[in-house]
Amino acid sequence: MPFNIRMGVPEMEAFWKDLGTRRSSNRLDAGEMKFFKKLVKTLNYLSQNPRHNSLNCHEIDDLTRKYGLKIFQSYLENNTPAAGRLFWAYGPDPQDITVLAIEPHPEDQKRGAYQRIKLSALPKRSPPPKKN
């Protein structure tokens, strides 16, 4: 069963809204368009199967300890300098995956790089369905 992809609040939600608005009005430069296509492809894989081979998904223990919930990292790209990484968590609702940050590969930096990553918060849970 596919996952619903949600954006963390407030940073990722604002980032996604801005990117989508500029994409729909053809205001992305070539680099931003390339990034947008990679991001959409990654989000599609993530929604269908978070363990898809090309995502190279794995839990980041430092971030899990820091934020108190399991934080995963997936690849936006590989074998490029400062390759993009997507940080995400399951939730807040069942069948949800929330994107919490998009960053350059932190391991290109010194030890403790994951501690410097700031994640968005999970959005609020959806209200329960109303009973008739």
What CATH number did the domain enclosing 15 receive? 3.30.2310.20
Helix axes 11-24, 30-48, angle to 10 degrees: 120
Residue 88 within a domain: yes
- pLDDT level of residue 6 (50, 70, 90 thresholds): very high
Please tell me whether residue 76 adopts helix, strand or coil conformation: coil
Residue 76 within a domain: yes
Residue 14 within a domain: yes
Residue 48 within a domain: yes
* Longest alpha-carbon distance in the chain: 57
Tokens of 104: 């350059």
Strands 72-75 and 96-104: unpaired
Query: How confident is the model over 43-87, as pLDDT tens digits?
Result: 999 999 999 999 999 999 999 999 999 999 999 987 776 678 999
Residue 103 within a domain: yes
Residue 52 within a domain: yes
59 lies in which domain range? 4-116
Average pLDDT of every residue of the chain: 90
Sign of CA dihedral 111, 86, 126, 17: positive
Q: What does the DSSP 8-state code read for residue 70?
A: -
Residue 131 within a domain: no
Rounded distance, CA 83 to CA 25, Å? 27
Query: How confident is the model over 101-111, as pLDDT tens digits?
Result: 998 776 545 56
Residue 132 within a domain: no
Q: How many domains does the chain have?
A: 1
